[in-house]
Copies of this chain bind each other. A is one copy, B any other.
Amino acid sequence: MSTTEKRHIDPDRALVRRKQVLDAAAACFGRSGFHGASMAEISKAAGMSAGHIYNYFDSKDAIIAAFVEQNVERVSQLMRDLEQQADPLQSMVDDAPRHVREHLDPNTWPLALEISAEAARNPKIAEVVRDADVRARVQFRAILKSSRERHGLAVDSDTLDGLLDAMISLFQGLDVRVVHNPNVNEPALARYMGIAMKAMLFS
């Protein structure tokens, strides 16, 4: 998954332009979805002619791919943050409310859903998403392993596999949940999320 698509004389300016487009795309994608957002819509939001966008991206699909790549990188950042914690297991439980709040943020979840839905049928996007997932799981697994060892808990492969995916599933479910129930009782939900996490992490 390439980082720079075209050669430009001034790479900084080009990067700014690419960001402009991706930011505009984020807004449009959130509003209308990948397929609902037209290049015209995106170009207007980016303050740039539609034709010019093609100096920075090969196609609309390339914009979608770049956008997905960018979004998918945020998970790795999360992992790095978690790594810094003294006791990651406890931190996760303690930070549950914050993470819940973030996952319920209406600027985030429509895009997360859109990405997953797209990945479900677009193999190119699926690849991006799955590669990122592999990387994130590797990081997460290492964190869980060392933390659990310190707590004297099991760290066999199956255990880590299950814990890993169950934990992530719990959070990814939030993005879906809020679509179906926008009036979710956040504190109450966070409390139970904490209960579930604690049970899993320390079993």
Name the distance in Å between A108's Cβ and chain B's nearest Cβ.
Answer: 11
- Which B residues are in CB contact (< 8 Å) with A69? none
Other-chain residue from B126, B158, B179, B191 in contact with A116 (beta carbon distance below 8 A): B179
Task: Check if B176 sits within 8 Å of A189, measured CB to CB.
Answer: no
Name the distance in Å between A162's Cβ and chain B's nearest Cβ.
Answer: 3
- Which B residues are in CB contact (< 8 Å) with A187? 158, 162
A 169-200 to B, binary, CB cutoff 8 A, 1 in contact else 0: 11111111101111011011111110111111
Task: Check if B114 sits within 8 Å of A110, measured CB to CB.
Answer: no
Task: Check if A121 sits within 8 Å of B32, measured CB to CB.
Answer: yes
> Taking the full assembly, how many copies of this chain does it contain?
4
Asked whether A203 is an interface residue with its Cβ less than 8 Å from the other chain, the reply is yes
Central interface residue in A109, A169, A200, by most chain B CB within 10 Å: A169
Asked whether A165 is an interface residue with its Cβ less than 8 Å from the other chain, the reply is yes
State the CA gap A175–B168 with chains docked (Å).
12
Other-chain residue from B113, B137, B185 in contact with A120 (beta carbon distance below 8 A): B113
Name the distance in Å between A134's Cβ and chain B's nearest Cβ.
Answer: 8
Task: Check if A179 sits within 8 Å of B113, measured CB to CB.
Answer: no
Which A50-102 residues have a C-beta within 8 angstroms of B?
A: none
Other-chain residue from B165, B171, B174, B200 in contact with A195 (beta carbon distance below 8 A): B200
- Which B residues are in CB contact (< 8 Å) with A191? 158, 162
- Which B residues are in CB contact (< 8 Å) with A130? 180-182
**Given A171-B173, A172-B177, A192-B163, CB of A116 within 8 Å of CB of B119:** no
- Which B residues are in CB contact (< 8 Å) with A197? 196
A 136-163 to B, binary, CB cutoff 8 A, 1 in contact else 0: 0100000000000000000000110111
- Which B residues are in CB contact (< 8 Å) with A47? none
Asked whether A117 is an interface residue with its Cβ less than 8 Å from the other chain, the reply is yes
Asked whether A166 is an interface residue with its Cβ less than 8 Å from the other chain, the reply is yes
